């Protein structure tokens, strides 16, 4: 059986390579801090499921302390700027092949591998098919890049290290915040949010409840950095008890558009490092928040549209968008 553990091992192996490259890069003035940080992250992927929870927590605290002291950035690259420019002119549109392989292979894998049985047992657990397919698709994308670009053998690890150095500690945020969302849900934060909302917000109409849910999803996503982490908290606190149970909203429409509202928050926060900080690092922009500033108007327009769509289609009788109508 192939589980997420195999994907974690692949990620741990990649981070182990990054650790070695960081340790050998003398151009990084803080190379040992960076080496320690990436080594600890690699350890969590490689052995996290076998470590005591308390020890994993201590490792995370050490990572926080290391990042707070400051991570360095090396200058080692797998090729020169001139070589990269020549490669672009030579390969042209073929450079997009590895990028396109990942989503196509992920979709194909999530469809074809679902329900696949080997000796009477599922090859991949049903709940993990999409995640495992994404991991396999990433490996396939890497192999495609090696065939198309034909870089040196060390290039993938060297460039991975260069990207992680550019992003810094923010690379850990998606994983950490997703775990925090699960902790919040288990701790009953959703019930606390529901109590606060019903106590202090005027939620006497479906439109008010829909607005609170949509805006709450966006704001909580901005704090958490991940709509998937915000979803169980806000849906348990406002979406289900108020919009669905109290006012009779369609649960499918409410939750689907609620997630879209959360994605509006993703566009407006540096906490969503993989969406907003990584592109700025890849483009080598002087302003790390340039991507966020460009996305804010679109995010606000989409948030208003999501709230309107939820009010119009989530109820058997559409909710008036204007008071008195």
pTM (two decimals): 0.71
The tokens for 278 are 């990584």
pLDDT in the model for residue 13 = 93
d(CA 171, CA 174): 7
CB 295 within 8 A of CB 267: yes
- How distant, in Å, are the alpha carbons of 48, 73, 77, 194, 278 from that of 37? 15, 13, 20, 38, 18
pLDDT of 192: 82
Q: For strands 121-122 and 117-118, give the pairing.
A: antiparallel
Nearest to 38 by CA among 157, 133, 148, 140: 157
Cα 146 from Cα 47, distance rounded (Å): 29
- First-to-final CA distance of the chain: 58
Task: Give me the pLDDT at residue 321, please.
Answer: 60
The segments of the chain whose pLDDT lies below 70 read: 77-80, 317-325
In sequence order, what are the residues at sequence separation of 6 or more whose Cβ sits closer than 8 angstroms to the Cβ of residue 239? 213, 254, 255, 258
What pLDDT does residue 215 have? 94
User: What pLDDT is recorded for position 216?
Assistant: 92
The pLDDT, as a whole number, for residue 322 is 56
169 to each of 3, 47, 77, 275, how far by Cα in Å?
Answer: 27, 20, 20, 15
């Amino acid at each position: 059986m192939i589980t997420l553990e195999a994907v974690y091992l692949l990620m741990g192996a990649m981070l182990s390579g990054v650790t070695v490259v960081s340790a050998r890069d003398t151009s990084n003035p803080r190379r040992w801090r960076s080496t320690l940080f990436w080594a600890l992250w690699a350890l969590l992927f490689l052995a996290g499921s076998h470590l005591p929870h308390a020890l994993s927590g201590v490792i995370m605290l050490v990572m926080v302390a290391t990042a707070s002291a400051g991570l360095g950035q090396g200058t080692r690259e797998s090729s020169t700027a001139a070589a990269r420019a020549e490669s672009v002119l030579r390969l042209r549109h073929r450079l997009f092949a590895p990028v396109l392989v990942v989503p196509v292979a992920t979709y194909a894998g999530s469809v074809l591998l679902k329900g696949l049985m080997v000796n009477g047992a599922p090859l991949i657990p049903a709940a993990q098919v999409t995640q495992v397919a994404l991991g396999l698709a990433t490996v396939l994308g890497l192999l495609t890049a090696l065939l198309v670009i034909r870089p040196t053998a060390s290039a993938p690890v060297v460039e991975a290290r260069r990207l992680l150095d550019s992003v810094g500690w923010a690379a850990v945020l998606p994983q950490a915040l997703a775990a925090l969302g699960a902790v919040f849900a288990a701790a009953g934060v959703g019930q606390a949010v529901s109590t606060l909302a019903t106590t202090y917000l005027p939620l006497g109409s479906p439109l008010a409840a829909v607005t609170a849910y949509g805006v709450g999803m966006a704001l909580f996503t901005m704090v958490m950095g991940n709509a998937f982490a915000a979803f169980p908290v806000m849906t348990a606190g406002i979406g289900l008890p108020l919009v669905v149970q109290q006012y009779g909203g369609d649960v499918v429409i409410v939750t689907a558009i609620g997630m879209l509202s959360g994605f509006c928050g993703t566009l407006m926060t540096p906490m969503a490092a993989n969406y907003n900080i990584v592109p700025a690092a890849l483009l080598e922009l002087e302003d790390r928040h340039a991507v966020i500033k460009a996305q804010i108007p679109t995010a606000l327009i989409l948030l208003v549209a999501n709230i309107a769509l939820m009010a119009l289609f989530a109820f058997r009788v559409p909710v008036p968008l204007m008071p008195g109508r």
